Copies of this chain bind each other. A is one copy, B any other.
Amino acid sequence: MSYTDATLQLLSPAGALVESDATAPYLPFVEKLTDDELREFHRVMVLTRAFDLEGTNLQRQGQMGIWVPSLGQEAAQVGSGFAMRPQDHIFPSYREHAVGIIRGLDVINIVRLFRGLTHGGWVPEENGNFHIYTMVLGSHTLHATGYAMGVTLDGKAGTGNPDTDEAVITYFGDGSTSQGDVNEALVFAASYQTPELFFLQNNQWAISVPVSRQSRTPLYLRAGGFGIPGIQIDGNDVLISYAASRKFLDETRAGDGPRFIEALTYRMGAHTSSDDPSKYRTDEETAHWAALDPISRFESYLRSRGEGDDFFRDVATEAADFSEDIRRRTVELGVPPVSDMFDNVYSEPHPQLAEQKLWLEGYEAAYAQGGVGE
């Protein structure tokens, strides 16, 4: 699947601004962006890619059990990530590393997750309201909707003040749109008119299954059937991702009801480090999308605006340091205490589990062998 007529784009693959009737409602959001903000877009996309490549290497070297790359999807994530306001809450799937970086998440926590030290890794409160990753596809979209229902109950949306009104954004993939939960989330969101943006990253594949198996009609149309306005954007264009997300987030936080964005992008890497894309997709296809790479496209745009080599060199250097830092801290990560297995299950005391914990401690003490490290 490639772009349709309906696909909104602010930056051509060559990096030129697209001014048309279709883009008119979105250009103003971009015009408001300062040079520094535009530089930030580039900077985070590059940092994210560096983190991603480092993650892939670390996994290859056995430092992580699995790695889930975001390679190729940086524009969709960075644009929407910068469109959020501080008070907004994000319910990601498991690939939104760039959004985590934007929200101030220390990404070593993502490493902790994929290294097998934790099933989560962080709490949203301390990390820019960036919630933890969810592995059961689509189930988090209902959590996002419920959270947004709570925002409404608290009267924290629709007051007309964009600096305090809260919005919720949830990310999910093309394959996940087939899950009952995602569709039920659309039902509840429409029914309760939640302040919520559904952000679909259509990266063309659900592991080895093409999006055409999930739907024969563009997925942004799905939302309309539930009474939710939806649009389709070029997900490799960071500017439209920003502008469309900013527009929809501010509409939904203002009380206009939920919104839906389908960002057409491409998973340039494997689904995860365990995957072998050569079994199901062609080099031609990958090459086609490589030519649409979000970072080089935006770099051309910045250069066309007069941005010079120094900036790009500095960002590259920072990215190298960033990777280096991650690598160093990764190999230093210890193993979690045995108590994690028991103490985190319930918020209140649980005699049965306490007993089992006690038994294991006694057993471990008695038998030197067995246990961690083995």
Contacts and interface: CB of A to CB of B under 8 A. Distances in A.
Interface of A: 177-181, 183-184, 187, 190-191, 193, 213-217, 221-227
Contacts of A177: 187
Given A179-B180, A180-B180, A180-B183, A216 B227 contact: yes
Contacts of A225: 217, 221-226
B187 A216 contact: no
Contacts of A226: 215, 217, 222, 225
Contacts of A180: 179-181, 183-184
27 contacts: A177-B187, A178-B184, A179-B184, A180-B181, A180-B183, A180-B184, A183-B183, A183-B184, A187-B214, A187-B215, A190-B216, A190-B217, A191-B214, A191-B216, A193-B216, A215-B226, A215-B227, A216-B227, A217-B225, A217-B226, A221-B225, A221-B227, A222-B225, A224-B224, A224-B225, A225-B225, A225-B226
A223 B183 CA distance: 12
Contacts of A224: 221, 224-225
Contacts of A214: 187, 191
Q: Chain copies in the assembly?
A: 2
Contacts of A217: 190, 225-227
Nearest to A190: B216
A327 to B, nearest CB: 42
The 6 closest A-B pairs by CB, nearest first: A180-B180, A225-B225, A217-B227, A183-B183, A222-B225, A178-B187
A172 to B, nearest CB: 14
Nearest to A193: B216
Contacts of A223: 225
A299 B265 CA distance: 58
